[in-house]
Amino acid sequence: MAKILCVLYDDPVGGMPATYARDSLPTIARYPGGATLPTPLALDFTPGHLLGCVSGELGLRPFLQARGHTLVVTADKDGPGSVFERELPDADVVISQPFWPAYLTAARIARAPRLKLAITAGIGSDHVDLQAAAQHGLTVAEVTYSNSISVSEHVVMMVLALVRNYLPSYQCVLDGGWNIADCVARSYDLEGMQVGVVGAGRIGSAVLRRLKPFDVGLHYTDQHRLPAATEQELGARYHPDAAALAGACDVISLHCPLHPGTEHLFDAAMLARMKRGAYLINTARGKICDRDAVVQALASGQRPAASGQRPAASGQLAGYAGDVWFPQPAPRDHPWRSMPHHGMTPHISGSSLPAQARYAAGTREILECWLDGRTIRTEYLIVDQGRLAGAGAHAYTPGDTTAGSEDAARFHP
């Protein structure tokens, strides 16, 4: 029998909801592009209920217990005394999330000789040292497609919130104020702006499609260029790399995976290439942006330094928004919590209630296949048989981006 160790985010502060705002979820038949939804043999949960937190258990307990397997679910994931550290050595399967990642470093993988499968309940497996996983023969899988549209909708919301200065205006109402000049002094129209995405895969291309009706110019860069017909349909201009894209856009949204080649891609030098007063949205991974460079670019003061020099505090960016941090959860003293002109949230864009239903179903499908000795869908695979495979071969590069994840232990709820 297998031991499944599942790391999920904490329950709501006030306990699990007794009722929900809606009685049901909208029904979709397939993902955009025609890919099929998860196809587990059965489900033991109610779609639309909280599934991604500890008490939700991704709806897995009835299924696993009926088969005689052991399921351990915890949110305590960081530090040497955590439940995750204690339970890992004899685990056969680890399930984690991008939103509350259990960092599977090389050291942790080495301490888990029975570990054979790491599942990401969602999309994005950079919390796993993929190089070490391949070397130890682990299979790494994620629920591809499950929350792509959820994230793309979140991006559109954040773009509009920044450009229209929504959050300070909302705060004005909460504070009992009514100074319209304060609210509109940083408010602009999105119409006519140039908007670009770094990464035009499932999420990035969905963002482009959703922003096209706003009458903006669309731009993108990706290691795999879109088909000419798609470029023409979207009216999207291709740029060979992020550096070429940066100076052309008023708004840039990041949708590339985190791997050694994209870590700190948006550093001080890249931010200096952007238009002064541009907006940067990051729902990809926090480490794609240099933390301190973002803080500096939002600060008011001097313009960027001359070419080849580190920019001074500048006001180079008009706003930064996103939901991804490094590490996660972000320590209480993380400077992004208090920097000006930001629209940061916890990592929530891909964990709407419909997304939870999809990634819970996909996690069960992967588990069923693995436990029954059936083949896991190719599109779910990131590492298999000692190498990058499936979606991983398309989007990732070999390496490790977990360095520094131990700082997550500094968050104390």
Mean pLDDT in each 10-residue stretch from start to end of the chain (413 residues)? Answer: 98 97 93 92 97 99 98 96 97 97 96 98 93 95 96 99 98 98 98 98 96 99 96 98 98 94 96 98 97 94 49 79 94 96 97 98 98 97 92 74 64 54
Q: What is the pLDDT of residue 301?
A: 53
- Is 315 a domain residue? yes
At 95 the three-state DSSP class reads strand
- Is 193 a domain residue? yes
Q: Say if CB 366 and CB 380 are below 8 A apart.
A: yes
Dump strand ranges (E) for 20-143.
Answer: 70-74, 93-96, 117-120, 139-142
For 322, list phi and psi in degrees, rounded to 5.
165, -175
Sequence letter at residue 388: L
147 is catalytic: yes
* Same domain as 152, residue 141: no
Q: What is the pLDDT of residue 302?
A: 44
* Same domain as 61, residue 93: yes
* Same domain as 323, residue 211: yes
Q: What is the pLDDT of residue 312?
A: 43
* Same domain as 165, residue 291: yes
Catalytic residue among 97, 165, 316, 328: 328
* Same domain as 216, residue 324: yes
Q: How far is CA 311 from CA 104, 272, 402, in A?
A: 35, 7, 28
328 is catalytic: yes
Q: Is 261 annotated as a binding residue?
A: yes
Please enumerate in sequence order all residues whose Cβ is within 8 A of that of 212, keeping only pairs 6 or more positions apart, or say none: 218, 234, 235
Q: Is 127 annotated as a binding residue?
A: no
Q: What is the pLDDT of residue 391?
A: 74
The last residue of one of the domains, among 291, 326, 344, is 344
* Same domain as 176, residue 114: no
Work out how many domains the chain is built from and give that number. Answer: 2
Q: What is the pLDDT of residue 311?
A: 46
Q: Is 146 annotated as a binding residue?
A: no
Distance CA 35, CA 216 (A): 29
- Is 378 a domain residue? yes
Report the C-alpha dihedral over residues 240, 298, 413, 109, rounded to 10 degrees.
Answer: 30
Catalytic residue among 97, 147, 165, 282: 147
- The residue among 232, 272, 274 whose CA lies nearest residue 253 is 274
Q: What is the pLDDT of residue 399?
A: 74
Q: Using the CB atoms, write b or e for 367-388: b if 16+ within 10 Å.
A: bbbbbeeeebbeebbbbbeeeb
* Same domain as 266, residue 316: yes
DSSP assignment string, 122-135: SS--TTB-HHHHHH
- Is 413 a domain residue? no
- The residue among 370, 326, 408 whose CA lies nearest residue 124 is 326
Q: CATH code at 87?
A: 3.40.50.720
* Same domain as 367, residue 321: no
Q: Is 259 annotated as a binding residue?
A: yes
Q: Is 69 annotated as a binding residue?
A: no
* Same domain as 163, residue 135: no
Q: Is 167 annotated as a binding residue?
A: no
- Is 410 a domain residue? no
Catalytic residue among 108, 154, 219, 285: 285
- Is 359 a domain residue? yes
Q: Is 192 annotated as a binding residue?
A: no
* Same domain as 276, residue 253: yes
Q: Is 202 annotated as a binding residue?
A: yes
Q: What is the pLDDT of residue 313?
A: 52
Q: How far is CA 233 from the centre of its chain?
A: 27
Domain boundaries, position 85: 3-146+351-389
- pTM (whole model) above 0.85: yes
Element (H, E) at 319: strand 317-322
Distance CA 28, CA 72 (A): 32
Catalytic residue among 334, 347, 358, 364: 347
Q: Is 258 annotated as a binding residue?
A: yes
- Is 176 a domain residue? yes
- Is 399 a domain residue? no
Q: Say if CB 99 and CB 122 are below 8 A apart.
A: yes
* Same domain as 320, residue 190: yes
* Same domain as 162, residue 108: no
